[in-house]
């Protein structure tokens, strides 16, 4: 019999004995025996923990308080009340355990995405190995019904994937040759062969598991306060109970039994379970609700900060826009063909994964001999430089041309412009178009409706392209042409302008955004296409890359904080009232049991509401 079933059996036996105790005659001490057996059945574990804490130097915990109250009640002949304290305390603990288990299910569902094996092609056939033994570039096979063990690109096959464990999205996603696939998805209907893009330690699954495991250690200020409060509160109440039992009877001639009963009532009420359990449970429920909706929040401190958002700052490319650029125009300078401009840019960008570079490679559409490329360097916020056959190639922003001393005339233009140069001479430019994501305007509108005062775009792109996106999605301000360090400087200025007590959130996806994510009050990374550096620096990760999920995260944070504050006010209010009534002799131990167990159960049930979140 497992521990949970054994505890439920003990509570059941204790409840039967407790009910029977009211029908047993008091003669011969039978009533005391039956109620004593009820308390013993329910409270064996509590007394054991109390003794263990006592000899471990930590006697003032809830187990000690309950044990002292029960033994005191029996010493005063209050058998039914003593048994009730232990029975209902254990019933309350059972409710709390159930609530914790339910809250853990969403997190546990994420933890279950850990792959157990992978079928990798070795020597002409697929063999089963541990995912950690597969290297980038290996070919793996995923059968129908199996979980994708590593990130990769489809080489052969077409299948529907269940991505709900990662994104919270219930609609399957169809993939075919050339599509990227994230580890942790489930192949629903047809085998796939994937070319692995990164080893297991760098895979989506490994990153999610690491982030989830760290979440519990990052506590909110309010949660830390409750922990510190309980450490001080409990000894103070125990001291007050001792004084309540001794001082009136010694100095004012009252009945010691009467004042001891009041002190025991005081002890039962003082147990801080309602706060110590329900507050962390509320935060845990909020983190679970977020994970079920494809949002990984790294800790309750991030959840609390999300609830106070005043200013929302977004990167543009890949965050508010699709990040799937298309080359719409190639302009060549005199004496150079458009084909040469596109080829030069493609060779310069051959090793880059930036969306702009990928659009140029797609437009070029011809094989690239990467063995000819030397000294390729990607410069954050500028572009790329490389050498091919001794010729120095540049492809990037106007700032890159200025930095490398290339003579050119910067022209105002709609969209993103990539200037192309060879051996210090500009040979042309490429105009690339991007469009806002379908839910970007909706997400910003929802943030405004939730009271977010200001929405700002920070981007390294040119101002005309940035302002076009800002107008489309409804942003207040745009700061364009920024390098990574300039983004940080601008963010610090915005942070200084936010309302007192409010938080600033920054949402980005690229490696260039990592410093800004780390500097903001709440950094949110686009996890599906975001870089490792961005995900590592962020406080939360959006697995679906939808800007509207930012509003979901804020809504979950605010709901969680409302529940936590409700529990604190309710628990302290009821306990304070009953503590006062107990000290005045107006409350019995039955009222004390409600003030402890009843309040704990109600607070826990309220905390469980944090698990449920539905987008409006």
DSSP string, 149-193: -S-EEEEE--EEEE-HHHH---S-EEE-TT-EE-TT-EE-SS-EE
Count of beta carbons in the 10 Å neighbourhood of residue 354: 20
168-172, 335-339, 387-391, 550-554, range with the lowest pLDDT: 168-172
Positive or negative, the CA dihedral 583, 588, 592, 594 is negative
pLDDT at 430 over 50: yes
The arithmetic mean of pLDDT across residues 198-215, rounded, is 68
Query: Does residue 543 form part of some domain?
Result: yes
- Mark whether 336 and 308 lie in a shared domain: no
Strand partners, 196: 152
Higher pLDDT, 544 or 553: 553
pLDDT at 511 over 70: no
For 219-248, the pLDDT digits (tens) are 556 656 666 666 676 677 778 878 887 887
Higher pLDDT, 249 or 180: 180
Query: Does residue 153 form part of some domain?
Result: yes
Return the CATH number at 455.
3.40.50.1000
Q: What is the side-by-side strand order in the sheet with 540-542?
A: 295-297, 540-542, 522-526, 503-508, 309-315, 454-458, 477-479
- Mark whether 489 and 348 lie in a shared domain: no
pLDDT at 529 over 50: no
315 catalytic residue (yes or no) = yes
- CA 399 from chain centre, in angstroms, equals 37
Query: Does residue 498 form part of some domain?
Result: yes
Tell me the pTM: 0.65
- Mark whether 545 and 447 lie in a shared domain: yes
pLDDT at 420 over 60: yes
| Residues spanned by the domain of 493 | 300-320+437-553
Query: Does residue 356 form part of some domain?
Result: yes
**Measuring CA to CA, how many Å separate 327 from each of 22, 359, 381, 428, 505?**
85, 6, 19, 14, 32
Query: What is residue 536's predicted lDDT score, i.e. its pLDDT?
Result: 67
The span from the CA of 187 to the CA of 161, in Å, is 5
- Mark whether 338 and 403 lie in a shared domain: yes
Q: Which of 388, 411, 433 delimits the end of a domain?
A: 433
- Mark whether 450 and 373 lie in a shared domain: no
pLDDT at 217 over 70: no
Q: Which uninterrupted H or E stretch holds 296?
A: strand 295-297
Query: Does residue 355 form part of some domain?
Result: yes
Q: Which uninterrupted H or E stretch holds 154?
A: strand 152-156
Q: Which uninterrupted H or E stretch holds 455?
A: strand 454-458
102-106, 155-159, 427-431, 460-464, range with the lowest pLDDT: 102-106
Residue 599 and residue 570 in contact, taking contact as beta carbons nearer than 8 Å: yes
Residue length of the chain = 616
Query: Does residue 222 form part of some domain?
Result: no
pLDDT classification of 108: cutoffs 50, 70, 90: low
Return the CATH number at 422.
3.40.1110.10
Provide the pairing of β-strand 391-396 with 186-187: unpaired
Q: Which of 433, 459, 493 delimits the end of a domain?
A: 433
Among the listed residues 213, 210, 198, the one whose alpha carbon sits nearest the alpha carbon of residue 150:
198
CB half-sphere exposure, 375, CA atoms < 13 A: 10
pLDDT classification of 615: cutoffs 50, 70, 90: low
| pLDDT > 90 fraction of the chain, expressed in percent and rounded | 21
Query: What is residue 532's predicted lDDT score, i.e. its pLDDT?
Result: 58
Q: What is the side-by-side strand order in the sheet with 118-122?
A: 125-129, 118-122, 139-142, 192-196, 152-156, 180-181
Query: What is residue 455's predicted lDDT score, i.e. its pLDDT?
Result: 94
Query: What is residue 553's predicted lDDT score, i.e. its pLDDT?
Result: 92
88-97, 109-118, 345-354, range with the lowest pLDDT: 109-118
The arithmetic mean of pLDDT across residues 136-149, rounded, is 89
- Mark whether 142 and 156 lie in a shared domain: yes
For 443-461, the pLDDT digits (tens) are 999 999 999 999 999 988 7
Higher pLDDT, 494 or 45: 494
Query: What is residue 18's predicted lDDT score, i.e. its pLDDT?
Result: 83
Number of domains in the chain: 3
Share of the chain residues as helix, strand and coil, in percent rounded to the nearest 5: 55, 20, 30
DSSP 8-class letter at 493: H
Catalytic residue among 162, 310, 315, 495: 315
The arithmetic mean of pLDDT across residues 360-371, rounded, is 90
DSSP 8-class letter at 609: G
Query: What is residue 228's predicted lDDT score, i.e. its pLDDT?
Result: 67
Q: Which of 433, 455, 476 delimits the end of a domain?
A: 433
Query: Does residue 293 form part of some domain?
Result: no
Two tokens, residue 147: 């979980």
């Amino acid at each position: 019999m497992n521990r949970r079933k054994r505890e439920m059996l003990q509570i059941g036996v204790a409840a039967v004995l407790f009910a029977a105790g009211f029908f047993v005659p008091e003669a011969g001490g039978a009533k005391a025996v039956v109620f004593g057996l009820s308390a013993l059945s329910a409270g064996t574990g509590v007394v054991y923990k109390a003794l263990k804490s006592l000899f471990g130097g930590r006697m003032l915990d809830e187990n000690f308080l309950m044990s002292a109250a029960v033994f005191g009640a029996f010493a005063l002949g209050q058998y039914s009340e003593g048994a009730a304290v232990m029975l209902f305390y254990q019933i309350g603990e059972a409710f709390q355990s159930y609530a914790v288990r339910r809250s853990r299910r969403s997190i546990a569902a994420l933890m279950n995405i850990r792959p157990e094996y992978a079928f990798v092609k070795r020597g002409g056939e697929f063999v089963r190995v541990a995912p950690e033994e597969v290297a980038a570039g290996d070919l793996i096979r995923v059968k129908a019904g199996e979980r994708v063990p590593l990130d990769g690109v489809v080489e052969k096959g077409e299948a529907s994937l269940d991505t709900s464990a990662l994104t919270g999205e219930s609609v399957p996603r169809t993939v075919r040759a050339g599509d990227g696939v994230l580890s942790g998805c489930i192949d629903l209907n047809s085998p796939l062969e994937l070319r692995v893009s990164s080893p297991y330690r760098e895979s989506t699954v490994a990153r999610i598991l690491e982030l989830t495991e760290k979440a519990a250690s990052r506590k909110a200020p309010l949660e830390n306060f409750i922990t510190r409060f309980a450490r001080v509160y409990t000894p103070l109440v125990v001291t007050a109970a001792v004084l309540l039992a001794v001082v009136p009877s010694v100095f004012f001639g009252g009945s010691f039994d009467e004042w001891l009963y009041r002190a025991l009532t005081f002890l039962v009420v003082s147990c801080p379970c309602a706060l110590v359990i329900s507050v962390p449970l509320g935060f845990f429920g909020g983190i679970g609700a977020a994970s079920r909706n494809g949002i990984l929040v790294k800790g309750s401190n991030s959840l609390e900060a999300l609830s106070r958002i005043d200013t929302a700052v977004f990167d543009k490319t890949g965050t508010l826009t699709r990040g799937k650029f298309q080359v719409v125009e190639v302009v060549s300078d005199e004496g150079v063909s458009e084909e040469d401009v596109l080829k030069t840019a493609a060779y310069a960008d051959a090793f880059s994964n930036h969306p702009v570079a990928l659009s140029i490679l797609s437009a070029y559409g011809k094989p690239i001999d990467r063995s000819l490329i030397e000294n390729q360097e990607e410069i954050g916020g500028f572009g790329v430089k490389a050498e091919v056959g001794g010729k120095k190639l540049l492809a990037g922003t106007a700032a890159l041309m200025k930095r490398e001393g290339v003579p050119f005339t910067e022209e105002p233009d709609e969209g993103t412009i990539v200037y192309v140069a060879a051996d210090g001479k500009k040979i042309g430019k490429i105009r690339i178009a991007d469009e806002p994501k379908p839910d970007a305007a909706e997400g910003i509108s929802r943030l405004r409706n939730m009271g977010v005062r200001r929405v700002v775009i920070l981007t390294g792109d040119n101002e005309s392209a940035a302002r076009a996106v800002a107008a489309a999605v409804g942003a207040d301000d745009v700061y364009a042409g920024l390098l990574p360090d300039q983004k940080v400087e601008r963010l610090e200025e915005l942070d200084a302008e936010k309302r007192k007590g409010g938080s600033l959130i920054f949402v980005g996806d690229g490696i260039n955004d990592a410093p800004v994510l780390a500097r903001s009050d709440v950094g949110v990374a686009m996890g599906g296409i975001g870089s490792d550096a961005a995900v590592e620096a962020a406080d939360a990760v959006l697995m679906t890359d939808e800007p509207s999920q930012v509003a979901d995260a804020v809504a979950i944070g605010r709901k969680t904080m409302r529940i936590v504050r409700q529990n604190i006010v309710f628990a302290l209010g009821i306990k304070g009232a009953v503590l006062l009534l107990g000290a005045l002799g107006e409350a019995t131990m039955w009222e004390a049991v409600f003030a402890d167990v009843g309040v704990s159960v109600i607070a826990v049930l309220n905390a469980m509401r944090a698990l449920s979140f539905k987008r409006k």
